[in-house]
Structure 1
Amino acid sequence: MNAVYGWLLLLPAMVLLIAFTHYPALSTLWHSFYSTPKAGRPMHFVGLDNYSAMLDDPVFWKALWNNLYFALGTIPLSIALALIMALWVNSKLAGRGFLRMAYFTPTVLPMVAVANIWLFFYTPQYGLLAQIGHLLGLPPVNWLGDRTTALPAVMAVTIWKEAGFFMIFYLAALQQISPSVREAALLEGASRWQYFWRVLLPLLMPTTLFVLINALINAFRVVDQIVVMTSGGPDNATMLLLFYIYQTGFRFWDSSYAATLTVVLLVILAVTALVNFRWLDRKTHYQ
């Protein structure tokens, strides 16, 4: 009877998980083996043709490499900045309540609003960065119109928005660590750096694992700021995988090819998350 009660308690969550996660994933996989239905032409089985076309698609490879570069550039910086901010606002600092609010404010703003704010910063000749550069005598830069600076400019927006969100988790973890741990380490002669590297950082590894998985997922589901700021340009320099899926499915109406791209995205996320869990779990110390 207890087992029945247990399954009944799990039933609502299981229904939601199957309806909104597992079924859409399996449906996407199924559609990737069929052609896109058109007017007067129903879909038919095409096997691996969509995957073969994807391997020959230069835009797909460009979007994939851009996304990997985006992830490698934003994830470490976001996590490092979040940890530094958490350590700072966790100390006995005057006005730390204001600092916490200031760091967390970008997180609660919609990404569309954030993208528009940064559009003002990046606007050539009139934007904030252009005005600062003019005062310093620097040459003008078209941040979003240059292939070499467009993607780093979008990455800066992501780091600015996500660091405050990850800071909250680190701050909560820091407040759970007893002050006696630091006192004991200092009594044993440990320096501040040794205490951080050998005591504090290992204790924060469960939080780091959680933050890393979230940052990884966020890095591969970037679409809002791309739509507002660059639309994938210039010359596909900011074309990321999810935005390419959005374009393929809703602008070009090729739902089967979009499903194929989505399957690849899900596989990348699943494999990367599994590797992170297996590697970091060995380094994680649970209290």
Structure 2
Amino acid sequence: MNHYAEMERRRQHMYGWLLLTPAAILLTLFAFYPSVATLWESLFSKGTRRRPSEFTGLENYSDLFNDPTFWIVVENNLFYAAITIPASIAIALIMALWANSKISAKGFVRTAYFTPTVLPMIAAANLWLFFYTPDLGVLDQIGALFGFESVNWLGRPETALWAVIIVTIWKEAGFFMIFYLAALQTIPADYKEAADIEGTSRWTYTRRIVLPLLMPTTLFIVVNAMINSVKLIDHLFILTKGGPSDASKLILYYIWEMAFAFFDAPHAAAMTVLVLIVLGIAAAIQFTYLDKRTHYQ
């Protein structure tokens, strides 16, 4: 009896490993190995034909911390994240609550909200480039009707990053709305009926029942929004290319520029490692602290 039980246990273990193998192979090839290779490359100097690369330890990281442009980019990205994450989540929640309510043309409203999401970022950036073009753009045309002067929205340091932020919020809000809309439809209708019987207002019902039940979804969206805040660079190539004077340059664009424009792969690798460390710390906080406080047992 023990022999057959041991064989069954081994067979179950084998099935488990077989199921894990495809995912393990993909993660190794496209996540673990690139991460280790990037970390290793960040410890060497930039090599040339005449002078091969040498092991320099943490010198590349020291160079980054002493680079004024690096800190400008970090500040830009922190400001970019601080605005786009809460704004896009708040707008997505409002849109989801409205799209889930009893309104006419509900399907059209949901489609209209989700349409920006299906557009490629390059196409969306070109669309907004038409809005921002000085004199000829939609914004300046509307401003001219009220006597406002033309503004070079993408060519001024004061407005360039804000212009990029608006495009991101417009693009991201519809995507996050889908998650909220799916979560809203899982809330039992009995809760709303009970609240109506008790005479609870719509605002109180939303604040005391709906929003707490949406917290797991909100946490998931926050993590995705945080990741997107350091990985979306497509629109920068079309809109500003990081200018003017690095006013709209973000960390991933700077990594690309360092690696493929300046051909300085070690410093680009060092910046990539720093981004991975920050995202890893954020993920650890999510799984060890916030996740326990947002799920109801």
Instruction: Output the CA distance in 1 between the equivalents of 2:293 and 2:88.
Output: 20
C-alpha distance 63-95 of structure 1, shift in aligned 2 (>3 A): same
> Residue in 2 aligned with 1:134?
144
TM-score with structure 2 length normalisation?
A: 0.94
Instruction: Output the CA distance in 2 between the equivalents of 1:160 and 1:59.
Output: 28
Match for residue 32 of structure 1 among 12, 19, 42 = 42
1:65-84 matches, cutoff 5 A = 65-84=75-94
Instruction: Output the CA distance in 2 between the equivalents of 1:47 and 1:208.
Output: 40
After TM superposition, give the deviation of residue 228 of structure 1 in Å: 1.0
Q: Secondary structure at the match of 2:47?
A: coil
> Residue in 1 aligned with 2:111?
101
Tell whether 2:166 aligns with 1:156.
Answer: yes
Which whole-Å deviations, capped at 9, do the CAs of 1:26-59 have from their partners, x for residues lacking one?
A: 1111111001221233221011110111111011
After TM superposition, give the deviation of residue 140 of structure 1 in Å: 1.8
Q: Decide which structure has the larger Cα Rg and report it.
A: 2
After TM superposition, give the deviation of residue 279 of structure 1 in Å: 4.5
> Residue in 1 aligned with 2:65?
55
Unaligned runs of 5+ in 2: 1-10
Instruction: Output the CA distance in 1 between the equivalents of 2:292 and 2:40.
Output: 36
1:1-287 matches, cutoff 5 A = 1-286=11-296
Q: Which moved more, 1:41-50 or 1:80-89?
A: 41-50
Letter in 1 for 2:247: A
Letter in 1 for 2:163: A
Instruction: Output the CA distance in 2 between the equivalents of 1:123 and 1:114.
Output: 14
TM-score with structure 1 length normalisation?
A: 0.97
Q: Secondary structure at the match of 1:283?
A: helix
Q: Secondary structure at the match of 1:196?
A: helix
What percentage of aligned pairs have identical amino acids?
Answer: 56
Q: Which moved more, 1:34-43 or 1:162-171?
A: 34-43
Q: Contact 1:205 / 1:283 at 8 angstroms: preserved in 2?
A: no
Which whole-Å deviations, capped at 9, do the CAs of 1:4-31 have from their partners, x for residues lacking one?
A: 1111111000110111001111111111
Unaligned runs of 5+ in 1: none
Which whole-Å deviations, capped at 9, do the CAs of 1:48-85 have from their partners, x for residues lacking one?
A: 11011111101110000100000000000100000100
Instruction: Output the CA distance in 2 between the equivalents of 1:282 and 1:12.
Output: 30
Instruction: Output the CA distance in 1 between the equivalents of 2:293 and 2:157.
Output: 39
Q: Contact 1:202 / 1:285 at 8 angstroms: preserved in 2?
A: no
**Please, what is the CA RMSD of the aligned residues?**
1.2
Q: Contact 1:209 / 1:277 at 8 angstroms: preserved in 2?
A: no
How many residue pairs align between the two structures? 287
Letter in 2 for 1:76: P
Q: Secondary structure at the match of 1:176?
A: coil
